[in-house]
Amino acid sequence: NWKDVTQRLPVVQFSAPKQKALDSPFFYNFNSEYDNFWRDRGYGVQRTDIWPRLYYPYSFRPYFTLEPSVGLRQTMWDQYKTDGADAWSDDEYLHREIYDARVGLSTEVYKVYATEREGFEKVKHSVKPELAFTYVPEVEQDSLPNIDYRDRLEKRTRISYAVTHTLTSKALKVTDARSDDLPEDNARASITSLGEYDYHDFLRFKLGQFYDISRNVYNRPYDEIHPFSSLDGKLTFSPVSAVSLDSEAKYNFYDDRFDLFNAGITLAPRKKDRLSL
């Protein structure tokens, strides 16, 4: 019955990407979301989720980079309508506060290869291994509304590891002028002065997995939860800046099958135009 279906209307999101905090050595990001959940018959809940995060990256050059971070998350619910249905709680307003901590360790090695192609001078192959530890404490949530994944935060004691391969090309920049419109002795005018280059990440492949010591999933018994996650692979191939081919797969070793497979293409012939399939 459509009258019992929970709707999200409206949804408002505000995010600030990772950036430096003034002139300090710290960085921060910020994520927030407001949802209005309502049904024609039943409960109504407004939820506000606020999650700032503070980072302190430190580089032990040229060997590795260490980045500890801590987040503080607050979620608030307002039950505004029940229509005789059972409310989530006797309280009209509910709230949850929780912190999480993460320590990341990464390094990068690379090699530069010269090519014979004209206008395509060099290719850089970089390999970036990463190791991280994430901790999210357990928090009482049974009396809170349970509508989607934001309403139940799982305890985490997680060790994750990943390796990323990136191929980057280096080529001389080309102006908008067409060489066939120029005199033969000035054909090189289509290329800017030496030292001005375009760098393009035309291939990126990341492989990662985590091991969760907590093995805690809401409403699931401990013995049904596996500590190792699926092996997650992501591949992006962009032969030219206007075309990007993306694929992702998750392989489950316990069930000997793929849990997920996605593939897509993005076309962006101009900066303001984008088509994704």
Predicted confidence (pLDDT) per residue in 55-97, tens digit: 999 999 889 999 999 999 999 999 887 676 677 777 889 999 9
In angstroms, rounded to a whole number, what is the distance separating the alpha carbons of residues 52 and 74? Answer: 9
* pLDDT tens-digit readout, 211-232: 999 887 777 787 788 999 999 9
- In three state form, how does the secondary structure of 66-127 look? EEEEEEEEEEEEEEEECCCCCCCCCCCEEEEEEEEEEEEEECCEEEEEECCCCCCCEEEEEE
* pLDDT tens-digit readout, 18-48: 999 999 999 999 999 999 998 887 778 999 9
In angstroms, rounded to a whole number, what is the distance separating the alpha carbons of residues 9 and 6? Answer: 10
Both tokens of residue 227?
């500590």
* Most confident stretch, 189-193, 197-201, 212-216, 234-238: 234-238
> Of 51, 29, 24, 251, whose CA–CA distance to 150 is shortest?
51
Those residues whose C-beta lies under 8 Å from the C-beta of residue 35, and which sit 6 or more positions away, are 8, 11, 46, 47, 49
Using left for φ > 0, alpha for ψ between -120 and 50, and beta otherwise, residue 215 falls in: left
Q: Residue written as tokens 């990662």? A: 208
Q: pTM value?
A: 0.81
Give the count of beta carbons closer than 10 Å to the beta carbon of residue 183.
7
Reported confidence tier of residue 98, pLDDT bands at 50, 70, 90: very high
Both tokens of residue 104?
């990341």
